[in-house]
Amino acid sequence: MQSVIKRVLMCRPLYFSSFDYIINPWMQTASINPKKALKQWENLVQVYKDLGITVEIINQVKGLPDMVFSTDQSLIFGNNVLLSRFRYKERQGETPFYAEWYKNHGFEIVQLPQELYFEGNGTMHFWNDKLFVAIGYRTDVPVCRYLQKLFPDIEVVQLHTRAPAFYHFDIGFFPLDDQTIFFSPDAYIPESQKLLKNIVPNFIPLTRKETEGFSANSIVTGKTVVRQKGNPTFGNKLAALGYESIEVDLSEFKKSGGGINCLTNILEMRE
């Protein structure tokens, strides 16, 4: 079965310049070119529109540089939005603006208890009858108990992260379809890898170079993968599986540890 994206929410990077904080190992405090970032983002929007995807837009608020990463804001299920609770105070200010957007667009907001933190699709991923949760840097085990209650028909599967570089799922984990997941062998502890191997029919490792090139930070719709520019070997692997690639350059966003998937909050799919 091939899922096609119908509608996404993206945040226009109006103030994406330098950072004065570091909360993941990919981040750099200097050298972001805001004009270039805006251009790269606009190009991604155009790619989505050309693929027939409706792009909803929220404007970035000054002083919240990481607000551009819309996928981290929530976990969407049907018309419901489980709002994130960011671990770092530097990102907590983003939530009210997204909450407002979701409310104004007819979504029902669900919230976690105060003491639990999680970062939307950065830390979770629905896959077949499962919900994968990346435990370690941005969410923790107690969240899983809460999620299991919220989704009684879905099996919540914990994957324990092994290094801070993999603070979010989309650095070392890329589900291509309902049979195939790409993963970085450095991302999860051996027990979690074993677990995945038993669940996933095609469990394909990414090389270190592919991982560092943010190959996993891709978006798939139908038989097309929108992926970070470069990474030719990853492109070949996708082609061998019958997928076409569209390469986009998001180098400015990588300086904050983000890429294509991070900038894309999927609101609706078409089966």
Task: State the catalytic residues.
Answer: 168, 262
Q: In what order do the strands lie in the sheet with 173-175?
A: 173-175, 180-183, 202-205
16, 41, 48, 69: which one binds ligand ARG (CB under 6 A): 69
Closest listed residue to residue 207, CA positions, set 230, 177, 178: 230
Residue 144 engages ligand ARG in binding (rule: CB under 6 A)? no
75, 166, 258, 267: which one binds ligand ARG (CB under 6 A): 258
Would you tell me how many other CB atoms lie within 10 Å of the CB of residue 221? 21
Binding mask 148-187 for ligand ARG (x = CB under 6 A): --------------------x-x-----------------
Q: What is d(CA 227, CA 219) in angstroms, rounded to the nearest whole number?
A: 7
Residue 27 engages ligand ARG in binding (rule: CB under 6 A)? yes
Do 96 and 85 meet the contact criterion of CB atoms below 8 Å apart? no
Query: Using CA of residue 186, residue 188, residue 193, residue 199, what is the dihedral sign?
Result: negative
Would you tell me how many other CB atoms lie within 10 Å of the CB of residue 125? 20
Tell me whether residue 126 or residue 241 sits nearer to ligand ARG (CB atom).
126
Tell me whether residue 94 or residue 221 sits nearer to ligand ARG (CB atom).
94
Least Å distance, CB 225 to ligand ARG, is 17
Q: How many residues bind ligand ARG (CB under 6 A)?
A: 15
> What is the contact surface with ligand ARG in residues (CB under 6 A)?
23-24, 27, 66, 69, 71-72, 91, 122, 168, 170, 256-258, 262
